[in-house]
Amino acid sequence: MGVTIDNKLTFNTHVSNVCRKAIGIYKQLCKAAKVSWGLHPEVIRVIYLATVEPIILYAASVWAQAAKKLGVIKQLAVVQRGIAQKLCKAYRTVSLNSALVLAGILPLDLRVREAASLYEAKKGVPQPVLAGREVERMASAVEGPHPAERLELEIISLVNEEQLNKHSEINVHIFTDGSKIEGKVGAALSEWKNKTENKALKLALPTYCTVYQAELLAICRATGQILKHRASSFGIYSDSMAALQTIINSNCLHPLAVECRDNLRAISLQNKVVTLFWIKAHAGLEGNERADRLAKEAAKNSKVRPDYDLCPVSFVKRSIRMATLDEWNQRYQTGETAKITKLFFPDAKLAYRLIRKFGASSETTQVMTGHGGFSEYLHRFKCKENPSCICDPDAEETVPHILLECPAYAAERLKIENEIELKLIKENISIIMMSKYREKFMSYCLKIAKRVINRNKTV
Ligand SMILES: [Zn+2]
């Protein structure tokens, strides 16, 4: 099955195997792209995400518990470190902590546990991050109706009042809509007969639900009403093509779509006719405008008890990712490595959001790790006789020194301090990185760093 099980169920052999396999494939792909030393970081990222991660994450739910063991974490770290260093063009001495933050990829052991949690959540196993909320699970294909009993459904598009009026055979019109406003979610139905509204229904959903769920819920409830209705010909109107298509596609197993199709089948047995219409939103159709207003009202005054409250998988993924980021951040902040990186990014979560906006360059990474052509580093790794800066034999040439203190760059520093209206001290670096001055500050850092690096090359 692709999972190696040893007699003590430690999964150590399995982890070693997948790690070896992942590294092997990664190396081959790099070779296939010929110039492994010059491979573009984005290409490496694609290779990593498309091959290395999936190989490691295969059957993660089986062995995720083992990913908490130090030995396993270390093996996974070995796979990741080299790749993360390449992604951010870091020196090989850079720590995993720094490399991961600057490469913008998550620790593999946490990814393993993340994949396992998601798998379990989809299977209905309660997850701590969901705090008791139930996950919206897809219906089973086996329990669906026999293909011969499937309804052939279609959607008719309407763009204006005129086209709507053409369908005069329809007695009852039910307009549906879903809405998300100020982070709150609502849905509504508005039932019309002879140009007047008979009935209106507002539905509330919790904040973690999506508009798509709200749209589906409204259509589903509309079919429920038709089941109980005495008229014979109905139109359901929605401005959500996505929701309508989910309903007519019988391979789609969304629970609301399945319920909706069940209702439609029961309705056809009652010899009633239902037509599904897609209407252009905000095209001035009275019923649609009314449903839109009702849905917004429903969202704003959320009821205590929602009408539908299953978590969409997108929310489950987001919650699990938040928990992963928290754990990673904890590890990053308490870890002893990555001192220089922490000056720029004291928080791994914020870094994860920001870092993809930077084009990874060797120089930026040298500045953000301190591992690069700076005397202190070169001296530490025996490439230079002394660690001192040109300004003073007693001052070590480190990244904080050249950026914040060294008198040799006082003029540039004063200039940038005036521009960003902030003093360049250690505590302010992370603040500047979060501000609109980030780019200006980074170009200052690069300018100074390049000067230092070039000078140290020639010595
Ligand atoms: Zn100096």
pLDDT value of position 352: 93
pLDDT value of position 395: 95
Q: How far is the CA of 446 from the centre of ligand 1 (A)?
A: 16
Q: Which has more confidence, 72 or 282?
A: 72
Q: How far is the CA of 448 from the centre of ligand 1 (A)?
A: 11
Q: Is 145 helix (H, G, I), strand (E, B) or coil?
A: coil
User: Could you report the per-residue pLDDT of 80-119, keeping only the tens digit for each?
Assistant: 998 899 888 899 999 999 999 999 999 999 999 999 999 9
What is d(CA 420, CA 52) in angstroms, rounded to the nearest whole number?
A: 42
Percent of the chain with pLDDT over 70: 97
Q: How far is the CA of 390 from the centre of ligand 1 (A)?
A: 6
pLDDT value of position 145: 84
Average pLDDT (222-241) is 95
The correct answer on CATH 3.30.420.10 for the domain covering 147-309 is yes
89 backbone φψ class: left, alpha, beta (φ>0; ψ -120 to 50): left
Q: How far is the CA of 94 from the centre of ligand 1 (A)?
A: 23
Q: How far is the CA of 408 from the centre of ligand 1 (A)?
A: 6
Average pLDDT, whole number, for the chain? 91
Q: How far is the CA of 387 from the centre of ligand 1 (A)?
A: 11
Average pLDDT (204-220) is 95
Q: How far is the CA of 404 from the centre of ligand 1 (A)?
A: 9
Q: How far is the CA of 365 from the centre of ligand 1 (A)?
A: 20
pLDDT value of position 34: 47
Q: Which has more confidence, 239 or 36?
A: 239
The sign of the torsion formed by the CA atoms of 8, 9, 14, 15 equals negative
Average pLDDT (164-171) is 87
Q: How far is the CA of 361 from the centre of ligand 1 (A)?
A: 24
Which residue, 360, 344, 347, 352, is CA-closest to 438? 344
Average pLDDT (41-58) is 88
Q: How far is the CA of 457 from the centre of ligand 1 (A)?
A: 17
Confidence of residue 150 (pLDDT cuts 50, 70, 90): confident
Q: How far is the CA of 422 from the centre of ligand 1 (A)?
A: 21
Confidence of residue 167 (pLDDT cuts 50, 70, 90): confident
Average pLDDT (168-195) is 93
The residue whose two tokens read 């904890």 is 330
Average pLDDT (209-214) is 96
Q: How far is the CA of 345 from the centre of ligand 1 (A)?
A: 24
Q: How far is the CA of 410 from the centre of ligand 1 (A)?
A: 10
Of the candidate ranges 33-37, 47-51, 282-286, the one whose mean pLDDT is the lowest: 33-37
Q: For residues 29 and 86, is the Cβ–Cβ distance under 8 A?
A: no
Q: How far is the CA of 388 from the centre of ligand 1 (A)?
A: 8
Q: How far is the CA of 454 from the centre of ligand 1 (A)?
A: 15
Q: How far is the CA of 299 from the centre of ligand 1 (A)?
A: 60
Q: Is 98 helix (H, G, I), strand (E, B) or coil?
A: helix
pLDDT value of position 35: 44
Q: How far is the CA of 372 from the centre of ligand 1 (A)?
A: 16
pLDDT value of position 393: 94
Confidence of residue 297 (pLDDT cuts 50, 70, 90): very high
pLDDT value of position 37: 57
Q: Is the pLDDT of residue 225 over 90?
A: yes
70 CB-near residues (< 8 Å, 6+ apart) = none
Q: How far is the CA of 447 from the centre of ligand 1 (A)?
A: 15
Q: Is 306 helix (H, G, I), strand (E, B) or coil?
A: coil
Average pLDDT (155-161) is 87
Q: How far is the CA of 96 from the centre of ligand 1 (A)?
A: 29
Average pLDDT (278-290) is 88
Confidence of residue 267 (pLDDT cuts 50, 70, 90): very high
User: Could you report the per-residue pLDDT of 302-334, keeping only the tens digit for each?
Assistant: 667 899 999 999 999 999 999 999 999 999 999
Q: How far is the CA of 287 from the centre of ligand 1 (A)?
A: 73
Of the candidate ranges 10-14, 214-218, 333-337, 352-356, the one whose mean pLDDT is the lowest: 10-14
Token pair belonging to 339:
């001192």
Q: How far is the CA of 86 from the centre of ligand 1 (A)?
A: 30
Q: How far is the CA of 427 from the centre of ligand 1 (A)?
A: 19
Q: How far is the CA of 100 from the centre of ligand 1 (A)?
A: 30
Give, as one character, the DSSP assignment of residue 68. G
Q: How far is the CA of 450 from the centre of ligand 1 (A)?
A: 14
Average pLDDT (330-344) is 96
Of the candidate ranges 12-16, 140-144, 408-412, the one whose mean pLDDT is the lowest: 140-144
Name beta bridge partners: 77. Answer: none
Determine how many CB atoms are found less than 10 A away from the CB of residue 89. 18
Which residue, 173, 171, 174, 201, is CA-closest to 186? 201
C-alpha atoms less than 13 angstroms from C-alpha of 24 in its C-beta half-sphere: 8
DSSP string, 423-456: ---HHHHHHHHTSTTHHHHHHHHHHHHHHHHHHH
Q: How far is the CA of 413 from the centre of ligand 1 (A)?
A: 13
Q: For residues 198 and 211, is the Cβ–Cβ distance under 8 A?
A: no
Determine how many CB atoms are found less than 10 A away from the CB of residue 144. 16
Q: How far is the CA of 396 from the centre of ligand 1 (A)?
A: 7
Q: How far is the CA of 393 from the centre of ligand 1 (A)?
A: 9
User: Could you report the per-residue pLDDT of 30-42, keeping only the tens digit for each?
Assistant: 676 544 456 788 8
Domain map (residue ranges) of the chain = 12-133+320-334, 147-309, 372-458
pLDDT value of position 32: 63
User: Could you report the per-residue pLDDT of 430-451, keeping only the tens digit for each?
Assistant: 999 999 999 999 999 999 999 9
Which residue, 424, 260, 261, 434, is CA-closest to 357? 434
